[in-house]
Structure 1
C-alpha cells in the first residue's frame, strides 16, 4: 500500500540501464516510489493516463516520440502535470522547448542521485528547477512577448499568490498561509497565467523575477 505522502514517480527513458539506475535510487528514498516506467514518449503518455503519477521524470531524446512532444500531450491531458526533463547533453534550445511545452524543470543525467531526488521533491512542490542559462533565455522571451498584459489586470489576491509562487513556496504552504484549499491556489495560478498570457508556471516565475516582484 502506498502512503498518501509518498511521491509517485513515472520514469521515462529509452535506455534500460538508465531506467534501472533511476528506479533503484528513487525507490531507496522512503518518500518516493516508482509506479511505472516507459521506454519512449508514446508509452509515457499512455502510462501517465493510466497511473497518474505525481512527477514524471522525462528523457528528452527518445525514439517514436520525444520528450518534448510527450510533455505537450501530457499537459493537454492534465495541465497540472509535474514533469522534470532529463538530458545527457547541453542543448539549450531543446530544453527551452520542453519548458515551454510545460515541463517544470530539467536536470542532467550525470548529476548525483541526491540532486535528482532533490529536484523531484522541488517539482512535486510546484517549484521550477531551472539553470541560470535557461532562466535567462526564458526571461528574454517573456520580455519580448508582444501580447503581454499589464500586471495591473491582476487582483490584489492574485498578485499575492503570484509573489508567493515565484518565491518558490509550495501550493500547500501558500494555501495554508491564505487559509484556503489547495484547489483555490491552483485556480488563482490558472487565472494569473491566462491574464498574463503565460504558458506555464515556469514562465510565471520568470515573469515575476523580470518585473521585480521577487528578489
Structure 2
C-alpha cells in the first residue's frame, strides 16, 4: 500500500484529493497539512511514500518544503499539485527534487495513475516541461539526462544500452514487461527521441 500525505491550504481542494485517495484500496492517506511549516516538521516522522503538495502555500511554498525535506529524506517522493502546466515554479520544483506534477484539473483516475507511476519509479510530467528541464542544464547532455530521468528510468535505459531485451530488463529489475514499456515511453517523451538508438545516444552525449 502506498502511503500519502497532502499539503494543500484550500480546504475544498484538500477534501477532493482526500476523497480520491481514500477511495482507492492501493493508497493510504496518512495526514493532510494546511501549510508547509507543519509538513516540514512532521513528514520525517510520518515517512510517507508520496507527498502531494501545492506550490503556492501561505508562507513557505511547496518548493521550500521539497528543498528542506528531500535532502535529508531522499526516499520521500514529492509530486507538485498546480494549476499551471508550463510554469517556472513547476520547473523550480523539479530542480529542487520533486519527481513530477499533477494539474489541478486532472481527473481522479489520472491522479491515481500519476501516484502509481511515481511510486513505481516514474516521473509524471508533460513533454514541454521535460524539454525545458533537459535544455536547462549547463552540464553535459549525459548528465542532464540523468537529472531528468528517475532512478528507475535510468536503470531501464542503461540496461537497454547494454543490449538487454525488454523481457530481460523486466526480469533483472523484477518488474513486469508492461512496466518496462511504460518506462521506455516516458524516457522517449522526456528526451524528445523516437527510438532506443536515439535515447542511448542521448545517454552518452552523442546527440
Identify whether the pair has TM-score above 0.5, normalized to the shorter chain: yes
Counterpart for residue 126 of structure 2: 131
**Of 187, 197, 200, which residue of structure 2 is paired with 1:213?**
200
Q: CA RMSD in A?
A: 3.5
Counterpart for residue 8 of structure 1: 3
Contact 2:131/2:192, CA 8 A, preserved across alignment: no
Counterpart for residue 44 of structure 2: 49
Q: Which structure 2 residues correspond to residues 78-117 of structure 1 after superposition, within 5 A?
A: 78-90=73-85, 92-117=87-112
Counterpart for residue 35 of structure 1: 30
Deviation at 1:125, TM superposition (A): 1.0
- Alignment partners' CA distance in 1, 2:86 and 2:173: 42
Aligned length: 174
- Alignment partners' CA distance in 2, 1:62 and 1:117: 23
Contact 1:57/1:85, CA 8 A, preserved across alignment: yes
- Alignment partners' CA distance in 2, 1:132 and 1:160: 17
Deviation at 1:141, TM superposition (A): 1.5
Deviation at 1:15, TM superposition (A): 0.8
Q: Kindly indicate whether residue 19 of structure 2 is the aligned counterpart of residue 24 of structure 1.
A: yes
Counterpart for residue 164 of structure 2: none
Counterpart for residue 54 of structure 2: 59
Q: Please list every run of 5 or more consecutive structure 1 residues that lacks an aligned counterpart in the other structure.
A: 1-5, 152-158, 167-172, 181-201
Contact 1:26/1:33, CA 8 A, preserved across alignment: yes
Deviation at 1:77, TM superposition (A): 2.0
TM-score normalized by structure 2? 0.71
- Alignment partners' CA distance in 1, 2:159 and 2:69: 22
